[in-house]
């Protein structure tokens, strides 16, 4: 197997394991509906805001969804957002990278909620600060570079200099996504989490 095929197989395995774990949790129909609605919202947001230079709230929606609903649902929403929206923006080898990358964004914020580092409900100043720092670090140093690595096999990157240039080229875009996410947090996080909290209460009733 070629290195690119091995990496693609690993990414596919990661996606399969998260989906299998979600299926094993025996989600209710109402939970599936909520996940589908959030996927539709994030896909629509990516498509609509693609016309706005350097601003897109899609990762904020994925992260807040993961925070409120947990890591498994966060990965599902993030990965399906990448897969679904790429029917608009184009499917290709990069899709698996984006699916894992955006899924991990949901996982990271799911863990922040699980360990009570960031509140899943009514945000205060501390929550905004911690969530903003976590989003910036995640996007600029983890999820962003992971998605950018799709270019290693697409463009034949085979040395450290080319790899550095590839990651540097995505740095500005990752910074803009981080800024977009933080702005979306400041504007809409409390209302979004309140709405998700009510939806979760209805789904478990």
pLDDT tens digits along 165-200 = 778 778 989 999 999 999 999 999 999 999 998 887
Chain centroid offset of residue 126 CA: 22
Give the residue among 118, 138, 116, 148 at the shortest CA–CA distance from 130.
Answer: 118
pLDDT at 161: 76
Q: Against a cut of 0.85, is the pTM above it?
A: yes
d(CA 64, CA 45): 14
| Residue whose token pair is 């996940």 | 35
pLDDT at 156: 67
Fold classification of 3-204 (topology level) = Arp2/3 complex 21 kDa subunit ARPC3 (1.10.1760)
Band of pLDDT at residue 2, cut at 50, 70 and 90:
confident
The H-or-E segment that residue 78 falls in is helix 71-89
Q: What is the DSSP letter of 123?
A: -
Output the six-digit token pair for 202: 């209805």
CB 36 within 8 A of CB 80: no
């Amino acid at each position: 197997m070629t290195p690119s095929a091995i990496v693609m197989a690993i990414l596919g395995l990661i996606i399969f394991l998260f989906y299998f774990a979600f299926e094993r949790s025996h989600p209710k129909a109402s939970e599936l509906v909520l996940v589908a609605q959030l996927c539709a919202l994030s896909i629509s947001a990516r498509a609509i805001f693609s016309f706005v230079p350097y601003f897109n709230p899609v990762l904020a929606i994925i992260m807040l969804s993961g925070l409120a609903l947990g890591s498994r649902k966060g990965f599902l929403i993030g990965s399906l957002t990448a897969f679904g929206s790429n029917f608009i923006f184009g499917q290709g080898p990069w899709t698996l990278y984006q699916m894992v990358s955006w899924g991990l964004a949901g996982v990271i914020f799911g863990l922040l909620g699980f360990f009570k580092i960031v509140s899943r409900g009514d945000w205060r100043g501390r929550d905004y600060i911690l969530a903003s720092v976590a989003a910036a670090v995640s996007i600029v140093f983890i999820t962003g570079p992971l998605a950018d690595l799709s270019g290693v096999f697409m463009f034949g990157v085979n040395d450290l200099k080319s790899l550095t240039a590839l990651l540097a080229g995505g740095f500005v875009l990752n910074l803009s996504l981080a800024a977009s996410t933080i702005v979306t947090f400041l504007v809409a996080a409390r209302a979004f989490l309140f709405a998700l909290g009510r939806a979760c209460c209805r789904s478990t009733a």
